[in-house]
Each structure stands twice: as C-alpha cells, then as structure tokens.
Amino acid sequence: MLPSEATAMPSLISDYDGVSRDDHRVRLSGVTWQDYERLLEIRGESSKPRYTYLEGELEIMSPSKSHDWIKSIIGRLVEVWCLEKGIEFGTFGSWTLTNKKAERGAEPDECFIFGDDPKNVPRPDLAIEVVWTHGGINKLEVYRKLGVPELWYWSRGRIQPYELVGEQYQAVDDSKVLAGINLRELARFIDSPTTSHAIREYRKALTSDA
C-alpha cells in the first residue's frame, strides 16, 4: 500500500478516471512578462508552485502528492532504462524554460538531456508532463516555442510521446530521443507499491528482454 494521504490515491493509477481536483491550479489573465519574471524571482530556487506562461496567461499549480509520485517514478524508470542501455544522461527536474520573445515559459515535471555534456545544452531533449488534474493552459502550445524536441504526456496510465516537427508537435507511436524504449512496458510499473520495487521489477524486465 502507498502511504495514506488526505485524498487517497487510487489503488491502480492506470484506472484513474481523470477528474481529480487534487492539484491546486489558479489561472490569471493579463499578466505581463515582467510580472511573470518577478514571480520567478520571488519564488527563488523552490520547485513549487510551478508556473506556466503563455502570452499573458499565467497558470500557477501546486502538484498533489499523487502527481509527484507519478512524475518521480517515471523519471526513475527512464534513468534505469538509460543505465541498462549505456546511455549518458543528465536529470534537470522542473527546469524553468523561457522564451521572452515568444512569451512562453514552462516547468516540466521531469526533464532530461542525453549525451556526455548535459550542462552545456540550452534546452532539454525530453520533457515529461503528468496530467493528473485536467484543464489549464495547453502545454503543447507552450513547449512548441521552447524548442524541446520531445514531450511525453502521462494520462490515465498511458504515456503519449510528441515529437517537435518544425514548430508543431506531432503525436508519435514511439520515442525518437530514446529509440527502442517501450513506453507501454514502462508505464506498467508506475502502479508499483514503492519506487524501489518499480526499479527492481523494471530492471528485471529489461534484463529478460535482452
């Protein structure tokens, strides 16, 4: 069993009906870029609340425990896959990504840079977003101007990858930046009782597939 919480997490996350109000969201209109930058400055190095900005629209979101559970375990399983495949990576969590000219800003649930020199790359190769409470700003519209090559959306037990083609995201069947990863298989382990159990079982599955 997962630790108890005020609003209980479904016994199987993949069966979740998508109508949660656990994440606390506030959406404001008429917010200038200067206002947005000031809020980032006031918040400082904290990862919460998370801000999404799109052409004067600002979404302020405090993720629930359930939301953070899902995003964290997806991130850990991506790390496991990379380690098993010998892929170098850097993890950058909720890195604040901004484009002043396009008036866009976002903070992914998790993000990664792949390769030997991740600290000197200006944008992540992969951003991951968990849709636990529906509604809010269209993240695809935000990310398409931020130059992130691939975005994964987790929703209702499924991970949908989107590839940036030109300035538009296209839904694709398989990841391009992590060629060969089976996202259906990875998603099965999100319902594990603990993160450590998920890591052990996922590693075992990857080993048996080799």
Instruction: Measure the CA–CA gap between 50 and 63, rounded to whole angstroms.
Output: 8
pLDDT in tens, 159-204: 999 999 998 999 999 999 999 999 999 999 998 999 999 999 999 9
Residue 120 included in any domain: yes
- Where residue 9 falls among pLDDT bands split at 50, 70, 90? very low
CATH number of residue 96's parent domain: 3.90.1570
Considering its fold, how many domains does the chain have in total?
Answer: 1
User: How crowded is residue 83: how many other Cβ atoms within 10 Å of its Cβ?
Assistant: 13
For 34, half-sphere exposure in the C-beta direction (CA atoms, 13 angstrom radius) is: 0
Asked if 172 and 163 count as a contact pair (C-beta separation under 8 A), the reply is: yes
Residue 133: the pLDDT is: 66
203 lies in a domain? yes
Distance, CA of 114 to CA of 3 (rounded, Å): 33
53 located within any domain? no
DSSP three-state, residue 111: strand
pLDDT in the model for residue 6: 36
**Residue range of the domain that includes 109:** 65-209
14 domain-assigned: no
pLDDT at residue 89, as a whole number: 96
At position 125, the amino acid (one-letter code) is D
Q: How confident is the model at residue 48 (pLDDT cuts 50, 70, 90)?
A: confident
Q: Encode pLDDT of 72-121 as tens digits.
A: 999 999 999 999 999 999 999 999 999 999 999 999 999 999 998 888 88
Structure tokens at 202: 């996922």
- Can you name the residues that pair with 25 across neighbouring β-strands? 61
Residue 55 within a domain:
no
Average per-residue pLDDT in the chain? 88
Contact 201, 189 (CB under 8 A): yes
Answer whether residue 29 is part of any domain. Answer: no
| 111 is a domain residue | yes
Q: Which residues contact 117 (CB under 8 A, 6 or more apart)?
A: none
